[in-house]
Amino acid sequence: MKDRFDLSGRRGIVTGGSSGIGYAICNVLAEAGATVFAISRTGAVKEGLAPSHANVTHLAGDITDRAHMEEIIAQIAAGGPIDFLINDAGITKKCRAEDFPMEDFSHIMDVNVTALFSLCQLCYPYLKQSVHKGRIVNISSMAAHLGFSLVVPYCVSKSAVCGLTRGLAIEWANDNICVNSVAPGWFPSEMSKQVMTPERKAAILARMPVHAFGDTEDIGAMMLFLLSDAASYITGQDFAVDGGALAYGF
């Protein structure tokens, strides 16, 4: 079984890899032997974080700029195969729905949905040729399944990510590509800090059976599984890593 989780020789892309969940994903996959290309706006690890694993290369790029992404992906592919794409980059904004600026709504959709679909399209011809079976894993959210106040457009975008995941999984099932998504619970990240208040923190912890925030490496471990040979028969699924929050009843 140990060999089934070895990612040696595999190469792929992680967006939003400069901090938080994306940063942890990059390091976990690199430790398992993968060569990881982390794309973020800065192209560098956020200040205060340890350097990434030696197998991680950071690249600067705007995922909403399709022409630029096409160039970056072609450069990566020129050095070897592309076996996986992990779409982690995302944004949100806190505002009541009736006051939410439409330009901000559009920007959230552009980053969280349109850019994600565009990257899947651009990577498709390379993933299709992977000798390990190509993998796409999208970061969804509990907000794809539950309603949260002050972030309605984010909820909309993450619901769309789940729909996109299922659609691509079916359409590309015979093209040597598995497509899944992971719905994180509450983990330390720059995005979660934007909407965190003492009152919200208390409510969140009370709503989770384990009453604790997660470790970002838990998401990395789930990604390792979904990219490994052990998950070659899994596609079209959304996996919650949330301390039981989505299962919690009343």
Query: Is 88:137 a contact under the CB 8 Å cutoff?
Result: no
Quick one: how far is CA 244 from the chain centroid?
A: 20
What whole-number distance in Å separates Cα of residue 16 and Cα of residue 219? Answer: 14
Question: Which one is catalytic: 126, 154, 233, 248?
Answer: 154
Known catalytic membership, residue 154 = yes
CA-wise closest residue to 49 among 242, 190, 183, 186: 190
Long-range CB pairs of 37-44 (<8 Å, 24+ gap) are 37/11, 37/12, 37/13, 37/76, 38/13, 38/14, 39/13, 39/14, 39/15, 39/63, 39/69, 39/72, 39/89, 40/15, 40/16, 40/89, 42/18, 43/18, 44/18
What tokens were used for 213? 């925030």
What whole-number distance in Å separates Cα of residue 184 and Cα of residue 103? Answer: 27
Query: Is 47:23 a contact under the CB 8 Å cutoff?
Result: no
Q: DSSP code of 101?
A: -
Q: DSSP code of 110?
A: I
Task: List residues with catalytic annotation.
Answer: 154
